[in-house]
């Protein structure tokens, strides 16, 4: 995908690629009538400021993305990934578990979901990560005690964990 974006936006225009990356990382959709964060229209001047480029560069990048059907299909459907409590977890008395799948064929959350379906308590091991999951409500809310001492420290309790 990035090769196609670079070809269309021009390999000698890194500022255009900064705008494309900013849109993807923040879930900013490029639609016919503007740039949106879900249903909120974002002014091009604000996008330019966030990307560190001129507003005219944002306008030109948006025009180029709209002119390519494949890129418009991608950028037109972008959405925010949703609420993250990571920044305020400590104040809420929550622990934070961040996971990254090493095997791109199977996501970590899919492995956890598959292992816990139908079980009240399941011990699960993935490499050096050990996790005990107790099912509280069907596939939506569960308690997880996590033993990831390097990542989380002594307080390894994740109060809510949801799967779609």
Tell me the C-alpha distance between 29 and 80, whole Å: 9
What angle, rounded to 10 degrees, do the helices at 55-67 and 14-26 form?
80
pTM metric for this prediction: 0.58
Tell me the C-alpha distance between 87 and 98, whole Å: 12
Burial of 94 (0-12, 13-18, 19+ CB in 10 A): middle
pLDDT tens track of the chain, all 164 residues?
Answer: 778 888 888 788 899 999 999 999 999 999 999 999 999 999 999 999 999 999 999 999 999 999 989 899 999 999 987 777 778 877 877 776 665 555 556 666 666 666 555 444 434 444 444 444 433 333 333 333 333 333 333 333 333 333 33
């Amino acid at each position: 995908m990035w090769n196609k974006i670079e070809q269309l936006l021009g390999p000698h225009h890194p500022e255009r690629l900064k705008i494309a990356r900013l849109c993807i990382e923040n879930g900013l959709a490029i639609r016919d009538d503007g740039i949106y964060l879900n249903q909120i229209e974002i002014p091009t001047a604000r996008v330019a400021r966030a990307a560190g480029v001129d507003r005219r560069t944002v306008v030109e990048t948006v025009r180029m993305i709209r002119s390519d059907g494949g890129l418009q299909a991608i950028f037109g459907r972008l959405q925010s990934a949703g609420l993250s409590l990571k920044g305020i977890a400590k104040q809420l008395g929550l622990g934070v578990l961040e996971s990254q799948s090493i095997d791109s064929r199977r996501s970590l959350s899919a492995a956890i979901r598959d292992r816990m379906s139908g079980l009240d308590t399941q011990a699960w091991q993935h490499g050096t990560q050990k996790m005990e999951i107790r099912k509280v409500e069907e596939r939506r809310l569960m308690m997880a005690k996590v033993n990831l001492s390097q990542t989380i420290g002594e307080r390894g309790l994740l109060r809510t964990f949801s799967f779609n």
